[in-house]
Structure 1
Amino acid sequence: MTSLDKPPIGTSTVKWRFPDIHPEGRKYVLIAAAIALVSLWVWDVLTWPLIFVTLGVAAFFRDPVRVTPVEDGVLVAPADGLVTMIQRVSLPPELAGPHALGTEPMVRVSIFMSVFDVHVNRTPITGTIRHVIYISGKFMNADLDKASDENERQHMVVEDRDGLRIGFTQIAGLVARRIVAFVKPGDMVVGGQRIGLIRFGSRVDIFLPEEYGAQVILGQRTIAGETIIARRGIQNVAGVAQ
């Protein structure tokens, strides 16, 4: 190999590969695959549809590698999905108070995840988990505003090294029937780290401190752990509903 054939310093060959299946979903993939296999002997006309169902379950629980921006003063998206609401709201009771996010209204960015999106959620900032609060509730459409107050949900608060606290909420939807947390109070997390999962369609809300401006707009799609959702010291890129 001549010097002209050598790749530039600092580069390497990268190959695409199928995303891993998160351990939380592997048992569901195995169950779906087993049912498809049994159908070969029971009623083979269902085999191909069940194979597609198995592939769909595997795709739902996919857990791709993400590259989180290494930058101070940014919050990254906690979920893959569609930005459906950006509005100033009163804090949920579980996130209000001096030991959580305070008492003043905050800008809430809501990200809706369809069954086709990755459902592994990630922390928007590096810090320490201060609160993990699970609340049972209904299973109405997660795209509705009142789902924040009535659906099954799980609130989390993470505090950075400067004492700034960021709150976000995992909300179950029409099909979702369980919210799973991978962390507990006192755990140290790195921005973009996996912190939980919601099974089969849902929504995640993130509450922005006053010093952070939303850097996404309605209708934009976000990638968990990669999309910068807010910046410190920057105004909102679009008007915030009051």
Structure 2
Amino acid sequence: MTIHKEGHSLLIGLLVVLAALNAPLYYYMPEFDIWHGVALTVSVILFLLILQFFRNPRRTIPQGDNLVIAPADGKVVVIEETEESEYFNDKRIQISIFMSPLNVHLSKNPISGIVKYFKYHPGKFLVAWHPKSSTDNERTTFVTENKSGVQVLYRQIAGALARRIRWYVKEGDSVNQGEEFGFIKFGSRIDIYLPLDTKINVNIEQKTRGGETIIAELPSR
């Protein structure tokens, strides 16, 4: 496991701040040993909590042109037929994965192919499980087409705490299944929109592992 690049500067800054807060206790109040221990313990716990958020674990990526793999770690909170109004303008199966602050927050390509569409939308910061977060929150939308011509739309959505969405691909790029395409900091969700005849392999409340869990199987075209 490694630490993701998005966390490097934040973790270094946090170390400096924690050192600056702890140093005066040791220097000016050397007799208060118990407070030294409390302050150090709290600092270590806080640092480890932030550190685990930026972990980048190794995953075994399943390969298959018709497979759709989970774009993020988290929990499946939505599986429903819905109208997708930004790109397809027709009915699709929506799968939504909610990420808590304790999950890995890498965003990984659910399929391989060519990015046919990308758009960044500024917006609100409603809690990620709010029904209107998909349309009102800050978000990015990607559509990737696999070599069989099947298109999958997926959307990074900011939450109440996640106010920094990062993306590393653009329209026209060739992407590989399981490779990272972005990062969302501190709690959020990802929506995936699939053709109606897609076979769904996950259930509500099921936990997913980004880049590893097969959430669906696309129809052949």
**CA–CA separation in structure 1 for the residues paired with 2:216 and 2:185:** 26
Instruction: Give the Cα separation in 1 of the matches to 2:59 and 2:143.
Output: 22
TM-score, normalised with respect to structure 2: 0.90
The match for 1:202 among 182, 185, 188 is 188
2:3 aligns with 21
What is the alpha-carbon distance in structure 1 between the residues aligned to residue 85 and residue 49 of structure 2?
Answer: 34
Tell me what 2:210 maps to.
224
Q: Aligned-pair distance for 1:166?
A: 0.8
Q: Does 2:75 correspond to 1:89?
A: no
Amino acid aligned to 1:147: S
Give per-residue Cα distances to partners, 1:25-62, cap 9 Å, x unaligned.
11111111111111222345533312221111111011
Q: Does 1:148 align with 2:141?
A: no
Q: Secondary structure at the match of 1:176?
A: coil
Once residues 20 and 217 of structure 2 are traced to their aligned partners in structure 1, the CA distance between those partners, rounded to angstroms, is 52
Report what 1:117 is aligned to: 103
**Greater displacement, 118-127 / 182-191:** 182-191
CA-to-aligned-CA distance 1:113-157 (integer Å, 9 cap, x gap): 000000001011011112221111111110111111111111111
Maintained 8 Å contact 1:32/1:53: no
Matched, 1:171 2:129: no
Q: Give the RMSD, CA atoms, in angstroms.
A: 1.5
* One-letter amino acid of the structure 2 residue matched with residue 27 of structure 1: S
Q: Which amino acid aligns with 1:31?
A: G
Aligned to 1:72: 65
Bigger drift between 125-134 and 174-183 goes to: 125-134
Secondary structure of the corresponding residue to residue 90 of structure 1: strand
Unaligned residue ranges in structure 2 (runs of 5+): 26-35
Distance 1:41 1:232 in 2: 57
Shift of 1:229: 0.6
Q: 1:92 to 1:57 in 2, by over 3 A?
A: farther
Segments of 5+ residues of structure 1 without an aligned counterpart are: 1-18, 97-101, 235-242
Q: Distance in 1 between matches of 2:179 and 2:52?
A: 20
Give secondary structure in 2 for the equivalent of 1:105. Answer: strand
Pick from 46, 50, 55: which aligns with 1:57? 50
The answer (yes or no) to whether the contact 2:115–2:145 under 8 Å persists in 1 is yes
TM-score by length of structure 1 reads 0.82
CA contact (8 A) 1:208 1:214 kept: no
